[in-house]
Structure 1
């Protein structure tokens, strides 16, 4: 399998989610009882060590050094996605998770409903995901389909159709922590494909701000900028919050809600009593198909 630098980032968000499970319920930013199990052994050992609160606080502090506020963004965007999905469950026929990585949402969702869930990602991640699911659950749930696709080169709808996707499904699309890793051409091609989604479909996605991508504002994350824009050149695409509605309307979608840092903190952090801020760098958006 070909190594892909973006594929190597799949574990990070799940590590944060797993560490958060060591917080008490009232202080936790995100609930995910499978996150720890889906990680490789060395990361599971690290998560286990963070049961000791001082080590947990130290890990969060280290993450803040490279990207101030991103711990909150990465944890709370999962809450935002989960809230929107829960609200829509009675009115959708399928879920498609783009760039699924090692996210556990599909497997937690099977506890609630039996609608088809398509997890689409790079072939290397799909192979690792299949192996991980069999290790943790014994077998792949019948309602979950793993779809290998390269968003830069492959046709998304063709790949989904090969696994049973129907164009008349009212679909809930999830694209969490993905768009920045794609070129603008790939993002636009993906949204062009989603133009065919049935009325009543929904999409929730995250994006980084375009002024970070072009280097005019680094939002206090100089180390992160050097890593993802200069050294490894992992991030390519960004949007500005004021431009999201117009971008979506080009492809037949209507913006319903956006959550920037202030909204994330207000919705998900303040009631925990934890003194954590969110970064202006990443936002979450929710839209419906006209």
Structure 2
């Protein structure tokens, strides 16, 4: 398994697939298990036995309390915004750092809408092989785009793969920004600033006060691994910085969600008792 950012693509999909065994999964996804490699499918399948599922949740929570529900709720939040935008009218969807994201294959509302999935070349190759194994071929509306955000120009690579910048686009940028330098985050936002009015952006970020060690929110193990030891997480924001940061690139923050909002909106109605981490937050923004 790769040790860099390209080695983190499978974990969220394994959690989604395992959570399908719950009576009330926080997100419905019948594709996640199918596109996982053998080890991931076996892990997800074993979670059908409740004691093993509890062990899997416990192992995840040991590193970062609330991580299990946080991953699921952020996906549900983005799905809700994406589905509403698709119903109102979209020209394209661009998923930045797609990993093994399944939205293009499980959300009927996206049928007929061009979807560009962007990720590191190694992840794109793995995703392509998995999709061809499951579906036989890529859906006609889906285009996989290999891009290194740190070294390549996003606009140019998207253009080479048929994306037209004048399209009203929904950009998904889930669990990616922390792996980038601030320079790469800003370059990406400059690229997205060319999107026309009516475009949408849903993204997640890690708190800056977590990255600098001011507050670890009970997730010292995650801080030691991802920030100190492996040095994978670089960029962060604090909640009160988000509006101004996005406004620099012409985006208007519509909603920002953390554990309180996710608990009220998704966890409590499911009847499950799960904590949600404060380390990562989710944002929805629009161009007007």
| TM-score band w.r.t. shorter chain | over 0.9
Structure 1 counterpart of 2:73:
76
Query: How many Å separate the matches in 2 of 1:43 and 1:233?
Result: 25
Q: 1:4 to 1:192 in 2, by over 3 A?
A: farther
Shift of the alpha carbon at 1:41?
0.5
Q: CA deviation at 1:113?
A: 2.2
User: How far apart in 2 are the matches of 1:263 and 1:98?
Assistant: 24
- Rounded Cα–Cα distance in structure 1 between residues aligned with 2:89 and 2:286: 12
- For residue 255 of structure 2, the aligned residue among 254, 257, 264 is 257
Q: Residue 180 of structure 1 aligns with which residue? A: 178
- Per the alignment, residue 202 of structure 1 pairs with 200
Contact 1:117–1:143 (CA under 8 A) maintained in structure 2: yes
Which structure 1 segments of 5+ residues have no match? none
Residue 29 of structure 1 is matched in structure 2 by: 26
Deviates more, 1:15-24 or 1:104-113: 104-113
Secondary structure of residue in 2 paired with 1:30:
coil
Equivalent in the alignment of 1:156:
154
Structure 1 runs of 4+ with >3 Å offset = 109-112
Q: Which residue of 2 aligns with 1:42?
A: 39
- Is residue 2:72 matched to residue 1:58? no
Look up the match of 1:17: 16
1:8 maps to what in 2?
7
- Secondary structure (helix, strand or coil) at the match of 1:173 reads strand
Name the CA distance, whole Å, in 1 between partners of 2:212 and 2:220: 13
For residues 181-222 of structure 1, give each alpha carbon's deviation from its aligned partner in whole angstroms, at most 9, with x where no partner exists.
000000001001111001110000000100011111111111
Q: State whether residues 83 and 109 of structure 2, in contact with CA within 8 Å, keep that contact through their aligned partners in structure 1.
A: no
Q: Find out whether 1:246 has 2:244 as its counterpart.
A: yes
Deviations 1:44-87 (A, max 9, x none): 11111111111111211121111100111101100000000011
The answer for the alignment partner of 2:269 in structure 1 is 271
The CA deviation at 1:246 is: 0.4
Q: Which runs of 5+ in 2 are unaligned?
A: none
Residues 209-268 of structure 1, C-alpha deviations (whole Å, 9 max, x = no match): 000111111111111111101110000000011110100100000000111110011110
**In the aligned structure 2, how far is the partner of 1:231 from the partner of 1:184?**
20
Question: Residue 114 of structure 1 aligns with which residue?
Answer: 112
Q: Distance in 2 between matches of 1:115 and 1:279?
A: 33
Distance of 1:226 and 1:266 partners within structure 2: 30
Q: TM-score, normalised by structure 1?
A: 0.96
Query: What's the offset of the Cα at 1:109?
Result: 3.4
Q: Is the contact between residue 19 and residue 56 of structure 1 (CA under 8 Å) also seen in structure 2? A: yes
Q: Which residue of 1 aligns with 2:211?
A: 213
**Which residue in 1 is equivalent to 2:145?**
147
Deviates most, 53-62 or 263-272: 53-62
Q: Distance in 2 between matches of 1:136 and 1:126?
A: 15
**Secondary structure at 2:34 match in 1:** coil
Any idea what the Cα deviations from partners look like across 1:104-158, whole Å, max 9, x if unmatched? 1112236752110000000000011100000011000110000000000111111
- Aligned to 1:36, the other structure's residue is in SS state helix
| RMSD over aligned Cα atoms | 1.1
